[in-house]
Amino acid sequence: MNSNDHKQTVLAEILALAPVVPVVIIDDVAHAVPMARALVAGGIRSIEVTLRTPAALDAIRAIASEVEGAVVGVGTVLDGTQLEAARAAGARFAVSPGVSPKLLDAADASALPLLPGVATAGEAMTLLERGYRHLKLFPAAPAGGAKLLAAWASPLPQIRFCPTGGISLASAPDFLALPNVACVGGSWLTPKDKLQAGDWAGIEQLAREAAALRAPR
């Protein structure tokens, strides 16, 4: 088993933890630990913290060291420097909105499993050639949604997807019913108003609703 085979196996295990991976934007690092504890209490263990704010790396570090049961990952990774910084902070997986040759080279050299974003069949085929069997469809809803993934299931049976972008609690089941969908990514579990208000009980309830969505295994 080569390095990427092993990383793909690890990624598959992470994506199988729950039907939804929350996509989180953290403005205040003080929110990171109670938010993650609320998600885990609600049945959501894998958490993607996006590199969209200055607090992101510190939030990853705090969750990784303080929240039992959480598997924290990093999102919005654009280059190898960010990939390495996230790995050093304790991230267990990485997610990118798309791919570039330099990012893929950095991912090959990193111990961190990467879930790269694609929006076309050609991009998916290119990544399949490089050993990627788990991909993120992004932005899922604008790119074609569940109908697009259903169309890809037959010609690209080796690939399983985590569609992200424009998905809600109401639309998630349409994706999760597909045989080539491992889970979905969604920002609705950690809305900005609940984070700012410290409404951890509310976030736990949103997590419970998401965890009740069962993806095919």
- Known catalytic residues are 48, 136
CA 153 – CA 114 distance, rounded (Å): 21
Which structure tokens are listed for 153?
A: 């299931």
Give the SS3 label for residue 94: strand
Distance, first Cα to last Cα, the chain: 23
Return the number of other C-beta atoms located less than 10 Å from residue 30's C-beta: 14
* DSSP secondary structure letter of residue 164: B
Place of tokens 């929240």: 67
Tell me how far apart the alpha carbons of residues 153 and 117 are, in angstroms, rounded to a whole number: 17
- What's the residue count for the chain? 217
Rounded Cα gap, residues 42 and 25, in angstroms: 19
